[in-house]
Every structure is written in C-alpha cells, then in structure tokens.
Chain A
Amino acid sequence: MYDKNKILTGLAVFVVFMTYPFWNNIGSAAYVRPEIEKPKNSKECVESVEFMRAEHMAMLNEWRDEVVRDGVHEYHSKANHQVFQKSLTKTCMKCHENKDQFCDKCHATVSVSPYCWDCHVDPKGVKK
C-alpha cells in the first residue's frame, strides 16, 4: 500500500466518527422511556392521549395564533365536546402543573426546546 500512514490515519478518523453512537454509549446506563408525571386532579385531557402526544405542539401553536391574532379564546374539544379556554398556563398547566416533571422530561431527551418559555413563565418554577 502506498502512503500507508496517511491513508490508515484517515481511515481511523473515519471509523471513529462513524461509530460514534456505539462507543459513546459504552458504560452508560440503559436508556429508559422517561416517566412523566400524570395529573392528579383530572383523568382526561382536552383531546385523546394519542392526539395530544402527536399534535400538542401544533395545537398550542394554533391556539396562540387564534388567541393573539383573532381573539378566539374558546376551544371545543373533539373528544369530549367540552369547551376549554385556549391557554397554556391556565388550561394545560392547571393539570400538568409541573413543567420539569411533565414538559421537560420528553423534550430534553429528544433535544426539543420549545420557545413557549420565551414569553410564558413557568408557574411552579417561579415559586421555587
């Protein structure tokens, strides 16, 4: 082989980079699904669990636009036909009261940093 040292060094760098996920996790604890704190004061969300799990971010985004731009504050639930106020802090966080134990658990593990908290304050966070 010609230029053996250079080529093998290059390949070593390549292998180290490409196997990063494997060697980076050696010795770390097995990954478990984060446990989120379930609300104590209610059993049902504004929509079904599956819908909320997939679409909560889109829903909050829509709520913000509708409240701020159109002044529409009422949300009619498709799941239980109740009327809710479109509000992160007044509706969502009435039940899911702890941001650290609810929102952040999943967001942190998949590295999502929603910008809700650029404007909203975390009610529990302030008391601490």
Chain B
Amino acid sequence: MKALYSLFLVFALAAIALVGAGALGMEKAFGLYIPFLAVAVFVVGFCLRVVDWGKSAVPFCIPTTCGQQESLPWIKQSTIENPSTTGGVVMRMLFEVLLFRSLFRNTKVDLHEGTKVTYGSSKWLWLGALAFHYSFLTIVLRHMRFFTEPVPGLIAGIESMDAMLQIGAPTLYLTDLVFVIAVTYLFLRRVVVPQIRYISLVQDYFPLFLILGIAFTGIFMRYFAKVDIIAVKQLAMGLVTFSWNVPEGIGVLFYIHMFLVSVLLAYFPLSKLMHMGGVFLSPTRNMNCASRKFRHVNPWKFENVHYHTYEEYEDEFREKMVEKDLPVDKPLAEGAE
C-alpha cells in the first residue's frame, strides 16, 4: 500500500510536468525556474541541515568498536576498525564513505532446525548499494556534458568508459543498466523481505520510485523516444549562464525528466537522502576509539543543564523506596502515609 501510494505520487508528479510543460506550454517554468529553485533549495537546505546537526553536541564518546582496541604493546591493534589516531579515523571514514564498510557487516538472522539462531553474512544489500551509488555518481558526472562547453576530457573519458561495450547506437551506457537493476533490487528487497516491508515507509519507497522514474525518462529519451539533444544543451547552458531561454521543440519527455530531478533535489534536504551529508557526521564512525585513553569532556555548557540530583530522585520515589525496604537518606516524613 505504501509502495503503491509512492508510485502514484511519482505518476502524479510526472503528470504535472506532462500537463504543465506539454498542454499548458509552461516550458519556461518547467525547464528553467523550477530546476533553478530546486538547485537553490538543495544547496541551501543541505547546508542548513548539516549546520543544524553540527550544533547538536555529542555527549559521549561513542565510536563503535569493530576490532581490537589499542591496548598492551604485544596485543595487535586493529588500527582501521578501532582507530586510536586521527589517521586511523580518516581511513575508517574513507572505507565507510567510499566502500560502505558498515553495510558490508550486514548479517542475516536465521533459525536452524527450529530453534537454533544463526547469523549469516549477507552481502546483497552492500553490493546493491555500491552498484546503485556508483552508477548514480557516474550518471551525474556524465550529465556534465550538458553544462560545459567544451566538454572536459575527464567527463568525455567517463562517458566513453561507460559506453565501452559499444552495444547499439546510441551506445548503451553500462551504468544505465546497472542503475536500473540496482534500484529495482533495492525496491524488491523492501517488498519481498517481510521484516523490511514491515519497517518500510512511504518516505522509503518514494525516493526509489522517483529515482526509477528519472532513470526511465532518461533512458527513454536516449534510446527510444529521442529528444533534440542540441536543444537540451542550449537550455542547460542557458540555465547555468542565466541567459534563460527555451529552445523550441524539445520533447515533453525532457520536461518530465527535468521536473522529477527538480523534485528529487528539492526533496533531498528534507529526507533520508541527507545521509549524503550525514555519513560524515556519524559519531560512531568519525570518533577516535580512545575512550579509555582520554577523558571525553561533555561539550555541553554545564550551567545550562538541569540535573536530576539524587536528592530530587529520592524525593520523587521515597514512598515507593520505603515500601520496598530500600535504604533512604531522609526518612519518610511523619504522617505522610
């Protein structure tokens, strides 16, 4: 139901662009104004979210330990899994951000012979996530060909690598294929696995369908219902150089694609997609595992914190404590019962 709701939401968004840019002829709004606003919301909103997170204190030193901590000299430390130096933390963060180390640790719980609980390795999520994120990155980088003139060699290089199997014409981008498969897997996983379906919400399905919608409109424009690509570049270059004009005759499919991307960008800072910034701020990953070696001082301002002292605690629970024969500092007042 939640999945269907998200799917219809994406269809509705596509319909808005279809009617708006197609029937009502609001190409300027859907090609220029909305995308520009979306980029502004994305960049500013992203920064505000991260600054907001930066303002909240981390009261305890809470790095998770995934290996031997630094200890006595003859005990071998796991320097990346349980770092005690800044260099080690940087390495751990690199593994986390670039290779999704935490997802690699994903395990699956199973019951064997009815009662035996077993934990098995489960790498599919890690593989799917890795395939998805790296194809998405490649696709975004490839799109820079519409925003640069002349196109930098690096971007052209990425593109020719992506099309290296030279299948068909226009040549098939391998990331298009991997991307659709990965997003489909990430969706099916939420539908097929009962535990994950139980915890999946509209805000889990919606980005997946939105991204899938973007992928399908893009793929259609490239391989099937082709749009005037030079006109697309004219529009894109106009957008980023603020000489806003809309060339004639770009197919409506392009505006649907553009609108879905705009929605994704504007939705980004409001949603779970903020893990893009959040991964860098994970206290369990980006802190030094030196909780025994150094004292972690609470970064809060102490005078602003209200303490619930033991006296207050006892005042609150004295009757119950006496009832259960627990020792109390102050005896129960006479006649209180």
Which residues of A does B touch, CB under 8 Å? 1-4, 7, 10-11, 14-15, 18-22, 24-25, 28, 30-34, 53-55, 57-58, 60-61, 106, 108-115
Closest to A57 in B: B169
Q: Indicate which residue in A11, A24, A115 contacts B166 across the interface (CB closer than 8 Å).
A: A115
How many B residues, CB 8 Å from partner?
Answer: 46
A54 to B148, CA, bound (A): 22
Contact A7–B50 (Cβ < 8 Å): yes
Contact A31–B237 (Cβ < 8 Å): yes
Which residues of B does A touch, CB under 8 Å? 39, 42-43, 46-47, 50-51, 54-58, 144-151, 155-156, 159-160, 166, 168-170, 226, 228-231, 233-234, 236-238, 240-241, 243, 247, 277, 280-281, 299
Main secondary structure of the interface of A (DSSP, over half): helix
Contact A109–B230 (Cβ < 8 Å): yes
Chain A nearest CB from B146 CB (Å) reads 7
Contact A110–B146 (Cβ < 8 Å): yes
Contact B226–A111 (Cβ < 8 Å): no
Chain A hits for B280, CB < 8 A = 10
Closest to A30 in B: B243
Contact B144–A20 (Cβ < 8 Å): yes
Q: Indicate which residue in B46, B159, B231, B277 contacts A111 across the interface (CB closer than 8 Å).
A: B159
Chain B hits for A33, CB < 8 A = 230-231, 234, 247
Chain B hits for A54, CB < 8 A = 226
Contact A111–B241 (Cβ < 8 Å): no
A20 to B280, CA, bound (A): 21
A10 to B281, CA, bound (A): 11
Chain A hits for B169, CB < 8 A = 57-58, 60-61, 114
Chain A nearest CB from B327 CB (Å) reads 41
